[in-house]
Amino acid sequence: TGLPTPKYMLLVAKSRAACLSAVESYNRASSLYREETFAILMINAWELLLKARVMREHGGKASALHEYRQRKRRMGRRANSGR
């Protein structure tokens, strides 16, 4: 019915969900490890948000999130990367 949702917007939605889960877990009084759970989920939310921004700034390309370095073999020759 409309345009497809850009992939970076899916990361934003996941970031929001992680952030809300972090706050909900912290506010649960009977929860064990609530501070640790909060920290892990909130870090995950920030990471997803950062990845979404990087993707948006690179035209929505997921390849902007990965860095490729060609490795060398023992004898100093480059490995066949298939690219």
- Categorize the per-residue pLDDT at 82 as very low, low, confident or very high, splitting at 50, 70 and 90: low
The β-bridge partners of 78 are: 72
Determine the pLDDT at residue 80: 64
pLDDT tens digit sequence for 13-36: 999 999 999 999 999 988 789 999
Handedness of CA 47, 14, 45, 33 (dihedral sign): negative
Residue 72 confidence (pLDDT): 76
The per-residue pLDDT of the chain, averaged, comes to: 87
Residue 83 has pLDDT above 60, yes or no: no
Residue at token pair 């506010």: 27
Neighbouring residues of 2: CB distance < 8 A, sequence distance ≥ 6: none
Indicate the pTM of the whole model.
Answer: 0.74
